[in-house]
Amino acid sequence: MLQSATIRFLKDLQDNNNKPWFDAHRQVYENAKADLQKLVGQLIPAIAGFDEPIGTLQVKDCTFRINRDVRFSKNKSPYKNNMAAYFSRGGKKASVAGYYFHCEPGKSYAAGGFYSPMPTELAKIRQEIDYNFNEWKKIIDNKTFKKYFPNGVDGIESLQRPPKGYDETNPAIHYLKMKHFIVSKPFTDAELQSKTLVKDVAKVFETMKPMLDFLNLAVE
């Protein structure tokens, strides 16, 4: 579970996203950071229970800095309004499908899949879906999968026209047009503070694992 003070800090940060305020509340941030790290430390073995390679990760392999890179952004707010972690073989920088936990007041969620694969990886995923569409459908049409992810796989952004080499009549065309392959389940602020949070998030991740296996097998 996360502490209410962590949620409150992130709420306050949304209204005071500037360096003077952050410096004045640095200890509150450090406490919130430690709180999230504790949660990540509990999630790693929980995920490893059904995805063994995750068990080799350290907390630092999964968590992100709260500072934003504003060099190429019109939004010059120096800090993120969220705290997050990514669990995958090779850590947060590995280009593979993985599990993502996002903590942001009113906008928290557990998600997973493959975000922004490189062109060669994207081509392999599309080919795998095309060749093994029945297997892909079996995964995403699973009763438990649909219960946790009623909105299905989100491409976030998709092509207007079929990718090169595919036809609009292809039964898998909806997925072949996707540039990302993500599923997610929202969590309320109250659920973040539940004693069952680790178990609940781990169950979401376990449910999406067959999809992640399919995606990783494709790029391998």
CB atoms within 10 A of CB 26: 10
Structure tokens at 44: 């790693």
Nearest to 1 by CA among 50, 43, 60: 43
Nearest to 212 by CA among 37, 39, 47, 46: 47
Query: In Å, what is the CA distance from 111 to each residue of 74, 114, 155, 188?
Result: 27, 10, 13, 14
57 within 8 A of 47, measured Cβ to Cβ = no
* Residue 162 DSSP symbol: P
pTM > 0.85: yes or no: yes
The domain 4-219: what is its CATH number? Answer: 3.30.930
Structural domain boundaries in the chain:
4-219
Torsion of CA 97, 213, 175, 114, to 10 degrees: 0
Structure tokens at 88: 């995958």
User: Residue-wise pLDDT tens for the chain (220 aa)?
Assistant: 999 999 999 999 999 999 999 999 999 999 999 999 999 999 999 999 999 999 999 999 999 999 999 888 889 999 999 999 999 998 888 889 999 999 999 999 999 999 999 999 999 999 999 999 999 999 999 999 999 999 999 988 899 999 999 999 999 999 999 999 999 999 999 999 999 999 999 999 999 999 999 999 999 8
Edge-first strand order for the sheet with 83-87 is 83-87, 98-103, 108-114, 181-187
Task: State which amino acid sits at residue 181.
Answer: F
